[in-house]
């Protein structure tokens, strides 16, 4: 009887939404009104089967389009951003109903602990922010990103088929976007100075685009051995897709993406040789030595560019050559902002200036001799380095937590890889670690973790490692128990 009544009310609600939509559109002619039935269907799906809705949501992420409003001060990505809002609301309702919903193994994991500390410190940085409104917006966006990509997947990824499904659900729309962009770029002659135009609204810029596709490439590479013995068509299709991704990365003309792929291969090899625990300390040590060398007696001043000889080049070859000569505009602009960020951190070392506040305060801290033609910064971009981004906007604790997180990620991935006997999960583990490695390098030259497409490919692999850690321990315990049983 209750089911009949419930279905009756659903039918009445659906008819009411449809009728209201027709009336509103008829009187106003506003096409946005036509979205109402789809919103209703989505909310019904969330209520009836939120896990099925989550797979649809994942499918929309690579193909979501950036919409900038007329004022140029606000933007939204459709359709994934509104879908994230619904999942945030859903999580709040579920958690309010059952605060003990989190599995104990999840709460005890070191990666979860570090990410939680990062989030708590972000809240503190927002409280002391010098640009409270922008910092609150950042905190809200960070919240729904973590809910959608780091919390909800705990109840999604249970079996091997879930990992395979996620791979395909992200691959298909991402592949389509690459093909569309490559075709558009081909029409423009694959020109270096036209790459941004070819991307249109599919990504924020060519850096965001190159980061996303380069982060996904390792998952394709580890999928190759997993297709051994499969249909020759499947293996051929996979190899063709890899070539398309490589072409996408190449024609994105992003140096960080290429370096990121190389670094990922280093991480993969280091994991197989049980040496990954040395990689990140060595990386950090090298950076500290370079910083010490540059800061000693202000030696960095010797590397200042010639303002009249820093250019935005029209072909990639000149772009690379000018990088080594110190005449590349984007590289010199990075130095300009890095120096400003380091000098800023001295005034607010603990909580920083607040998330999204760098742009409004960095100009007085710059060294004018490093100024370039783009230093007016009309797009209001930030530090172009995630470590310094954390340092200047959230303080030393935030930067240190991020540095620790990266060390723990690769150390944990190596443990999981060698603990597993299951061939599928071993390849998945090394692929996830390589994906995060690509993201790490890209974020060393940018700050993209808070953009929705990069966040998905950073936090989902992160929580997958948490889940795989549990699975590997269960497998180890099961094998140990079997060995005990068969012993005479």
**pLDDT of 482 over the 50 cut:** yes
Please provide the average confidence, as pLDDT, over all residues in the chain.
85
pLDDT recorded at residue 6: 45
What DSSP string describes 181-198? Answer: HHHHHHHTTT-GGGHHHH
Instruction: Calculate mean pLDDT across residues 390-408.
Output: 97
Rounded to two decimals, what is the model's pTM?
0.90
pLDDT recorded at residue 194: 87
pLDDT recorded at residue 485: 56
The runs of H, that is alpha helices, within 49-109 are 50-60, 80-97, 104-107
- Structure token pair of residue 241: 């897709």
CA-to-CA separations, 185 to 179, 211, 228, 247, 252, in angstroms, rounded: 10, 18, 34, 11, 9
- Which of 2, 36, 143, 59 shows the shortest CA–CA distance to 459? 143
Euclidean distance between CA atoms 134 and 124, whole angstroms:
14
Q: Where are the domains of the chain?
A: 1-48, 107-488
Cis amide linkage into residue 437, ω under 30° from 0: no
Give me the percent of the chain exceeding a pLDDT of 70: 80
Question: 48-67, pLDDT tens digit by residue?
Answer: 889 999 999 999 999 998 88
The 3-state DSSP composition of the chain as helix, strand, coil percent (nearest 5) reads 75, 0, 20
Question: 105-117, pLDDT tens digit by residue?
Answer: 999 999 999 999 9
pLDDT recorded at residue 326: 47
Question: 255-282, pLDDT tens digit by residue?
Answer: 899 999 999 999 999 999 999 999 999 9
**pLDDT of 179 over the 90 cut:** yes
345 versus 34: the higher-pLDDT residue is 345
**pLDDT of 89 over the 90 cut:** yes
Give me the percent of the chain exceeding a pLDDT of 90: 60
- Structure token pair of residue 399: 């930067």
User: In degrees, to the nearest 5, what angle opens at C-alpha 40 toward C-alphas 36 and 43?
Assistant: 135
**pLDDT of 71 over the 60 cut:** no
> What SS3 state is found at 66?
strand
**What is the pLDDT confidence band of residue 316, given thresholds at 50, 70 and 90?**
very low
Contact in structure between 36 and 21 (CB atoms under 8 Å) = yes
Instruction: Calculate mean pLDDT across residues 119-134.
Output: 96
Using DSSP bridges, classify how beta strands 75-78 and 65-68 pair: parallel, antiparallel or unpaired: antiparallel
> What SS3 state is found at 71?
coil
Instruction: Calculate mean pLDDT across residues 401-413.
Output: 97
**CA-based R_g, the chain, Å:** 24
């Amino acid at each position: 009887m209750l089911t009949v009544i419930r279905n009756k009310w659903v039918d009445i609600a659906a008819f009411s939404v449809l009728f209201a939509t027709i009336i509103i559109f008829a009187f106003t002619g506003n096409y946005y009104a036509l979205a109402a039935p789809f919103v209703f269907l989505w909310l019904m799906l969330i209520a009836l089967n939120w896990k099925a809705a989550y797979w649809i949501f994942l499918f929309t992420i690579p193909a979501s389009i950036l919409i900038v409003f007329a004022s140029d001060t606000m933007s939204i990505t459709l359709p994934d951003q509104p879908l994230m809002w619904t999942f945030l609301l859903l999580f709040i309702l579920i958690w309010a109903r059952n605060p003990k919903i989190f599995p104990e193994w999840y709460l005890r994991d070191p990666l979860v602990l570090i990410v939680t500390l990062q989030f708590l410190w972000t809240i503190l940085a927002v409280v002391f922010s010098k640009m409270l409104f922008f910092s609150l917006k950042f905190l809200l966006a960070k919240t729904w990103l973590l809910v959608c990509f780091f919390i909800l997947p705990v109840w999604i990824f249970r079996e091997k088929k879930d990992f395979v499904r996620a791979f395909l659900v992200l691959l298909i729309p991402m592949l389509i976007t690459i093909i569309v962009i490559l075709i558009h770029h081909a029409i423009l002659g694959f020109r270096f100075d036209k790459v941004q135009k070819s991307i249109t609204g599919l990504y924020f810029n060519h850096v965001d685009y190159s980061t996303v596709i380069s982060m996904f490439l390792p998952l394709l590479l580890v999928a190759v051995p997993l297709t051994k013995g499969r249909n020759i068509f499947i293996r051929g299709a996979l190899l063709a897709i890899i070539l398309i991704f490589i072409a996408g990365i190449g024609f994105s003309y992003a140096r960080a993406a290429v370096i990121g792929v190389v670094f990922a291969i280093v991480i993969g090899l280091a994991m197989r040789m049980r040496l990954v625990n040395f990689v990140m300390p060595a990386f950090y040590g090298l950076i500290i030595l370079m910083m010490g060398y540059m800061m000693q007696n202000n030696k960095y001043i010797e590397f200042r560019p010639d303002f009249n000889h820093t250019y935005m080049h029209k072909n990639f070859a000149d772009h690379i050559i000018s990088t080594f000569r110190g005449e590349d505009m984007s590289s010199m602009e990075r130095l300009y902002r890095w120096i400003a960020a380091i000098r800023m951190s001295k005034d607010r070392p603990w909580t920083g200036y607040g998330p999204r506040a760098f742009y409004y305060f960095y100009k007085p801290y710059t060294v004018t001799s490093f100024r370039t033609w783009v230093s007016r910064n009309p797009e209001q971009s930030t530090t172009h380095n995630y470590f310094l981004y954390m340092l200047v906007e959230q303080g030393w604790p935030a930067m240190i937590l991020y540095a620790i997180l990266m060390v723990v990620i690769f150390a944990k991935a190596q443990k999981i890889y060698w603990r597993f006997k299951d061939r599928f999960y071993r390849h998945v583990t090394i692929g996830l670690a390589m994906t995060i490695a690509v993201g790490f390098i890209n974020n060393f030259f940018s700050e993209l973790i808070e953009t929705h497409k990069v966040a998905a490919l950073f936090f989902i692999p992160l929580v997958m490692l948490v889940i795989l850690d549990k699975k590997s321990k269960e497998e180890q315990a099961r094998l140990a128990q079997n060995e005990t049983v068969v012993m005479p």
